[in-house]
Structure 1
């Protein structure tokens, strides 16, 4: 699992035949000499809209055997993946580019390279969505990494073979209760260009813009870097260290936000609906049997084990998690929602377990073959099967009344949006650059939404306001059109009032104001948007546990 993108480049390809022709045609790519070379395409591809989920995010993009799978990807995600550019460098396009989501399941030879997979995905976008793009330039903010003359503290790599790696380390097994968890990453044979990509992925709490390597360092290095997660920096005091200070003091580099012209990929046109899948898809692309763990060990956690979990090279390593926490992940439930699971025994919240599970690898006895990387959807299904098998769990889903909210208009303070702009909500300031978090240290959430209807905002709130909202918020405002809006509020842990639940003592439609200066989501809606969130009961799917054993079956 990640701890907390990629250098822009474009590959020009020419599609043979008419636009919209079946996937499987040969694509043509021009090499440096200008001579056309054939590039293999996917044998067959299933492309369709994604099913609705509460917290959508793109997952996949790896080749598992002969299957290339992408889940819950926006068109901007697909373009970013296909062309190897950061999603912020994908410019233009229709308003739905960041909203509509798609699934892709395609077949390719297991030995297909990542470079060819990108070309093949480009082929899908061009033939199935009629995507047309061109390169351009635009001033874009980015975190620029520079070397300080005579101050670089990294050692050149001892073994300069193979691709560089940066591996997050598990927390100490006996870390004292209340101790601040630090992120420790060991990097081997790492170039600065690759480190710029890796640090952006691992320190996303700090680095919400791409990281660009401007160090001028061409060698590969071995080094260790440690920093405090962004969310814990405020409470860590003198023991905390930001990613910026860590890069400076531990590596001898500088990491600073700058604005400079960058190459961008501009979307000229793209179809919202993909062309039809080929006939007899079930025969050409039969469903694979459900993935399972080859071996799994489950045992009670030792006292004071710090909770952690990671997935690496086909191995799932979990420590100190309750069965309820594991079930919440496996069934994609909000772990803070007391209504999401019906009928759980008391021990489900208390008994903690360690799980070490490995995925089978068809490596033909070759130890160099890496196990397949698991995407989140696949991992969830495997954990469901494991829990149901080892804990003899019987369960089903059904609709039951749960605590939900409806937006109501009070004195709306909304700005009409340009309907041609891309619909999106991002963490951070809007175009005016005003950061409302700077005036109140207790406000740590800042959301800017562009060209969203209030119905769309309600759909996004379970993801944007984790801890406050567990289910989509219904739009009862009667306000039509789309809006640009900013919400500044405190995460639920910074408010004195408890998060909303069926057991909450809250009687009004807003949480009580925190004397410390914290601003709840409910107060932010009322004071900043002129809207009210009214609590109600609404039928939603919940997980009903009919039976579960307290002790797992023997390993």
Structure 2
């Protein structure tokens, strides 16, 4: 389902990570995983969340990925949105669209940040796959995210204040504060829905750009979402809604708010169709894996 792709892979409609210094892992092992998915395969697993947020329990400089899609690895390294990832898939050779890999990597920098791991992954992809990419700005159909009323937030949407931890260790997605917001900051978390047909997604201390671009996957919108709310800082939110596929299947028999209605009533925002310039990661060159 595209909503899960949006949570895992999506990502922020931003230019490359600001820190552009050349960083690299000290030790790496990269192998194609041909076990596939489903019965008899190795379950996909990672010790570092690959989504666009900052949720990250320090691993002592270790990054371990098992049976992860190559395109998801690209998305992690460049914080790709779902539309950016789809555009990159269209440029990629057939093997890159289907391949899955195991990667064990280590850096001697024990206090490495998640964004530094992204830069190290870029170096690994350049070295092992000869990957060359660049950004281009292209005009595309988008949704403009706007407040329904200027400077007015919905009941489950607010500017973030204070401090909180991005360390997920020892916590679950059910851990919430007194107002129902996640205790862990910096990541998009799937919470317990109000009933079995609903999704409930929340975050604290989330960049507004990451929130905006994630809406594409949650609402199965088919186009990027651009932040035009006027909000520049980080936000907290909780959104409980019936996903589009469930609403279509159940029709009038399902109770609760659909995606667009939930945006209006819970968050006080709306989506307006427009054409705007957006950044696209363009593939210049890629080779199949150079074996260890």
TM-score, normalised by the number of residues in structure 2: 0.59
Partner of 1:319: 66
Q: Report the equivalent of 1:306.
A: 43
Aligned-partner SS, 2:226: coil
Contact 2:239 2:263 in 1 (8 A): no
Count of residues paired in the alignment: 227
| 1:490 and 2:241 are equivalent in the alignment | yes
Q: Does residue 386 in structure 1 map to residue 124 in structure 2? A: yes
Give the match's secondary structure for 1:293: coil
* Structure with greater strand share of residues: 1
Q: Look up the match of 1:348.
A: 96
Q: Is the 8 A contact 2:23 2:123 kept in 1?
A: no
Provide the C-alpha distance between the structure 2 equivalents of 1:486 and 1:316, rounded to a whole number of angstroms: 30
Alpha-carbon distance change, 463 to 401 in structure 1, aligned in 2, over 3 angstroms: closer
The structure showing larger relative contact order (alpha-carbon pairs under 8 Å, at least 6 residues apart) is 2
CA distance in 1, matches of 2:207, 2:120: 32
Deviates more, 1:401-410 or 1:316-325: 401-410
Separation (CA, whole Å) in 2 of partners of 1:383 and 1:485: 29
1:352, distance to aligned residue in structure 2 (A): 0.8
1:400 is the counterpart of 2:150: no
**Offset of residue 383 of structure 1:** 0.6
Decide whether the 8 Å contact of 1:324 with 1:348 is kept in 2. yes
2:290 match: secondary structure: coil
User: Match for 1:358 among 106, 125, 128?
Assistant: 106
Q: Is the 8 A contact 1:54 1:471 kept in 2?
A: no
Q: For structure 2, list consecutive stretches of 5 or more residues without a partner in the other structure.
A: 1-10, 36-40, 49-58, 165-175, 181-191
Q: Is the 8 A contact 1:339 1:402 kept in 2?
A: no
1:526–1:541 CA distance, 2 compared to 1 (3 A): same
- For each residue in 1:24-71, what CA deviation from the matched residue of structure 2 results, as whole angstroms up to 9, or x when unmatched? xxxxxxxxxxxxxxxxxxxxxxxxxxxxx9389xxxxxxxxxxxxxx9
CA distance in 2, matches of 1:377, 1:535: 32
Q: Give 1:226's aligned residue.
A: none
TM-score by length of 1: 0.34
Distance 1:413 1:381 in 2: 38
Closer, same or farther in 2 for the Cα pair 1:327/1:533, shift >3 Å? same
Structure number, greater radius of gyration: 1
Aligned-residue offset at 1:547? 1.5
Partner residue, 1:423: 159
Q: Secondary structure at the match of 2:197?
A: coil
SS for the counterpart of 2:28 is: strand
1:474 to 224, 228, 235: 228
SS for the counterpart of 1:467 is: helix
Calculate the aligned-residue CA RMSD, in Å. Answer: 4.6
